Amino acid sequence: MIRFLIKILITALVVAGVSELGKRSGFIAALLASLPLTSLLAFIWMYLDTKDAVAVAGLSMDIFWLVIPSLLFFPVFSYLLRHEVQFGISLIVSAVLTTGFYFLFFFLLKKSGM
């Protein structure tokens, strides 16, 4: 249970750190947020819990494929906000479009035999 609480604390500190840093320097916060910190933490926690490097390698490749459709979110969200669409609506529209792109991406991967 202590290990689980440590995982939560470290992960929360990373997210809170990016949020706080964003108030001071958007570029530095974006740089930190763009690093695969969540993935790195997940790899570390998974490996420490299972000692299964093959499972971690599988997770790594799954993340790689799932990053591709997730990239749509950022330009859509930025575009909507820059065109004065309300924050909440921009967030929802971007998330819905990204979700749709995930389904399209999965369909295309399946069609190609991956």
User: For 60-82, how does the pLDDT look when each residue is reduced to its tens digit (9 = 90+)?
Assistant: 998 898 889 999 999 999 999 99
**In this model, does residue 85 exceed pLDDT 90?**
yes
**95 in a structural domain:** yes
Provide the token pair at 24: 């001071």
**88 in a structural domain:** yes
Query: Which residue segment(s) compose the domain that 102 sits in?
Result: 71-114
**55 in a structural domain:** no
**7 in a structural domain:** no
User: For 4-36, how does the pLDDT look when each residue is reduced to its tens digit (9 = 90+)?
Assistant: 898 889 888 888 888 888 888 888 887 777 778
Please tell me the distance from the alpha carbon of residue 95 to that of residue 112, in angstroms, as a whole number: 25
**82 in a structural domain:** yes
0.85 exceeded by the pTM?
A: no
**75 in a structural domain:** yes
**85 in a structural domain:** yes
**59 in a structural domain:** no
Q: Is the dihedral of CA 95, 74, 7, 40 positive or negative?
A: positive
Please tell me the distance from the alpha carbon of residue 101 to that of residue 114, in angstroms, as a whole number: 17
pLDDT for position 98: 95
Domain count, the chain: 1
pLDDT for position 3: 81
